[in-house]
């Protein structure tokens, strides 16, 4: 590039690995497919197992336990938040990417889901974004609708539907009547891009983090209708179609062994006709959400093309975790209350599903159609929870139109963009305060063909959330999934030979497993992961409950 590049960073919320056409899906995503196919598709790119932890790592280049989201804010109490790294918002121990790019002369813009603080002091505007329109929380209605019920009378699981929008430092008190999240976030970003002064020659960093396709599943009616009947064969049939396409595209090995579906729920042929119709409709709505997200990405790409800026823009795209396999109603006591509340205050009749006043999710079987061949889905530290679709593209890329099977993580984005911008991370001091160094590594030498792989086989990377743990070194991974969704002990897998994490080698390779467990302990020491023997009853119980929830769904969705 002859001048410093622009950056467009796009994040989808809970998108499955094979949802996009370029990653094996049947959903119409022509705009993202064109960008992905022109760039480098990453098949071994890793995030955290849930939304806000990933977003913390994405904007800081370090582990979420250090950056302030050791536990998701929605599921921690004041005792937990007193621990460094568990504040529940992006803390002051890290220098954020927008701060560093702003200091380096970039125009910094965000429109979308923030999920890293719910106050003016912890907002995007306070962390380096010059223009910002954000959804502070998660699981918000995608339209401007909520039941006429005071928040304190809503079930805990649904409190986040009252998530706040913020324009700069100021709360937004009213939304347009035609508000739909993906459209509105894109509208505002296009406004910001268009309002840059003509004499402002600064490059831009534009961050577009969608809240779609996170539940509640909602989309424009005309798009939902487009997918009518498409999923009537059920999730197992879709899973097989997706796997076949993944193999055909070279995104997974032709002889890959897919992990069996993990779901304590009835198979498709055990559902009655009404249950099948409702379940298939949920997938239809989900597909419509994804297509609408793609359409909005196309709007941004077209704007950049029309202004002559696309050829100097690095586009990065990723999902923030594996596909969402939630069955929220399965939480004991709390879930039943949520079900009763939804039945009373929402309209989940078949013809109304996907509208503003409906509230649904699609469950673990549809999720695993998207995560296959990987094991499980969101919230788990198995590959289905942390391996996500991602690509990077720009005209100067050496690896245009190729597929990478090399390991990389969301923490690598900050050092990569800083290097492309011709600036550096400050190290251990920023604006007079001590900050943590990067844990990620720049992908640029790999992208430019100077290195064969982004990370050496000796490097280790750890994951932890809600008691689920993992540590990886090269192709070897030690995995700990708590009971009842796992054995409650460390398992060992060789991911190159066994990407589905099916064949546990713990007994065959005890020395290797013990070595990895030693690396895990060093990871704990370096990042401050709380020992759950003293982390507090709330986090322990919620960890178990949430993991259990993510393996169940009701018979009629």
User: Which residue numbers are catalytic?
Assistant: 51, 115
- Give the E-state strand segments of 444-548 in sequence order: 460-465, 468-473, 476-480, 490-494
CA dihedral 467, 472, 478, 480 (to 10 degrees): 10
CA atoms within 13 A on the CB side of 249: 26
- Give the E-state strand segments of 269-369 in sequence order: 313-319
Q: How far apart are the first and last CA of the chain?
A: 50
273-306 and 181-194 helices, crossing angle to 10°: 10
* Strand 40-46 versus strand 387-393 pairing type: antiparallel
Task: Check if the beta carbon of residue 211 is closer than 8 Å to that of residue 181.
Answer: yes
How many CB atoms lie under 10 A from the CB of residue 230?
14
Nearest C-alpha neighbor of 110 from the set 127, 126, 133: 133
Q: Is 201 helix (H, G, I), strand (E, B) or coil?
A: coil
Q: Which H/E stretch holds residue 277?
A: helix 273-306
Dihedral (CA of 219, 223, 228, 230) sign: negative
Q: Say if residue 497 is exposed, middle or buried (CB neighbours under 10 Å; 0-12, 13-18, 19+).
A: exposed
Q: Which H/E stretch holds residue 67?
A: helix 64-67
Task: Check if the beta carbon of residue 181 is closer than 8 Å to that of residue 212.
Answer: yes
* Strand 468-473 versus strand 460-465 pairing type: antiparallel
CA atoms within 13 A on the CB side of 64: 28
Distances in whole angstroms, Cα of residue 481 to Cα of each of 16, 285, 364: 21, 31, 17
Q: Say if residue 299 is exposed, middle or buried (CB neighbours under 10 Å; 0-12, 13-18, 19+).
A: middle
In 94-220, which ranges are continuous DSSP H helix? 97-103, 181-194
Nearest-Å Rg of the Cα atoms of the chain is: 22
- 99-118 burial: b if 16+ Cβ within 10 Å, else e: bbbbebebbbbbbbbbbbbb
Contacts for 552 with CB less than 8 Å, ≥ 6 apart: 263, 264, 265, 327, 330, 364
Task: Check if the beta carbon of residue 130 is closer than 8 Å to that of residue 167.
Answer: no
Q: Which H/E stretch holds residue 292?
A: helix 273-306
273-306 and 30-38 helices, crossing angle to 10°: 60
Contacts for 401 with CB less than 8 Å, ≥ 6 apart: 37, 38, 39
């Amino acid at each position: 590039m002859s001048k410093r590049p622009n950056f467009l960073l796009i994040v989808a919320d809970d998108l499955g690995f094979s949802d996009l056409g370029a990653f094996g899906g049947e959903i119409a995503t022509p705009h993202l497919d064109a960008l992905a196919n022109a760039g480098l598709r990453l098949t071994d790119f890793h995030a955290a197992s849930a939304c806000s932890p990933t977003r913390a790592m994405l904007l800081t280049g370090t582990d979420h336990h250090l950056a302030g989201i050791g536990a998701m804010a929605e599921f921690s109490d004041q005792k937990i938040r007193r621990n460094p790294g568990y504040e529940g918002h992006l803390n002051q121990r890290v220098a954020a990417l927008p701060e560093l790019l702003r200091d380096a002369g970039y125009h910094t813009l965000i429109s979308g889901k923030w999920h890293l603080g719910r106050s003016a002091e912890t907002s995007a505007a306070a962390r380096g974004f010059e223009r910002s329109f954000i959804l502070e929380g998660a699981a918000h209605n995608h339209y401007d609708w909520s039941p006429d019920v005071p928040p304190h009378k809503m079930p805990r699981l649904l409190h986040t539907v009252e998530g706040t929008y913020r324009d700069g430092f100021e709360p937004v008190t009213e939304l347009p009547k035609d508000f739909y999240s993906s459209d509105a976030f894109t509208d505002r970003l296009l406004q910001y891009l268009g309002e840059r002064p003509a004499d402002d020659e600064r490059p831009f960093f534009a961050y577009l983090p969608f809240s779609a396709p996170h539940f509640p599943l909602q989309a424009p009616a005309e798009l939902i209708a487009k997918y009518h009947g498409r999923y009537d064969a059920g999730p197992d049939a879709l899973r097989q179609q997706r796997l076949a396409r993944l193999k055909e595209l070279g995104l997974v090995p032709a002889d890959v062994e897919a992990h069996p579906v993990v779901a304590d729920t009835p198979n498709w042929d055990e559902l009655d006709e009404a249950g099948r119709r409702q379940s298939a409709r949920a997938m239809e709505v989900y597909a419509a959400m994804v297509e609408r997200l793609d359409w909005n990405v196309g709007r941004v790409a077209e704007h950049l093309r029309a202004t002559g800026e696309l050829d100097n823009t690095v586009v990065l795209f990723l999902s923030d975790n594996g596909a969402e396999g939630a069955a929220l109603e399965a939480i004991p006591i709390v879930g039943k209350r949520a079900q009763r509340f939804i039945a009373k205050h929402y309209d989940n009749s078949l013809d109304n599903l996907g509208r503003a006043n409906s509230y649904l999710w699609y469950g673990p079987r549809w999720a695993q159609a998207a995560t296959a061949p990987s094991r499980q889905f969101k919230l788990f530290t198995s590959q289905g929870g942390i391996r996500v679709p991602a690509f990077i593209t720009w005209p100067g890329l050496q690896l245009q139109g190729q597929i990478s099977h090399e390991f990389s993580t969301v923490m690598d984005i900050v050092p990569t963009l800083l290097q492309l911008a011709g600036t550096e991370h400050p190290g251990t001091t920023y604006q007079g305060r001590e900050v943590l160094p990067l844990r990620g590594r720049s992908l640029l030498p790999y992208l430019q063909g100077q290195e064969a792989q982004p990370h050496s086989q000796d490097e280790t990377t750890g994951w932890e959330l809600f008691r689920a743990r993992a540590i990886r070194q090269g192709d070897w991974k030690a995995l700990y999934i708590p009971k009842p969704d796992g054995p409650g002990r460390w398992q060992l897998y060789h991911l190159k030979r066994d990407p589905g994490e099916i064949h546990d080698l713990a007994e065959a390779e005890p020395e290797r497993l013990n070595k990895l467990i030693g690396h895990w302990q060093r990871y704990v020491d370096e990042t401050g992961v709380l020992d759950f023997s003293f982390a507090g009853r709330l986090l322990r119980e919620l960890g178990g409950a949430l993991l259990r929830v993510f393996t169940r769904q009701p018979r009629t969705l």
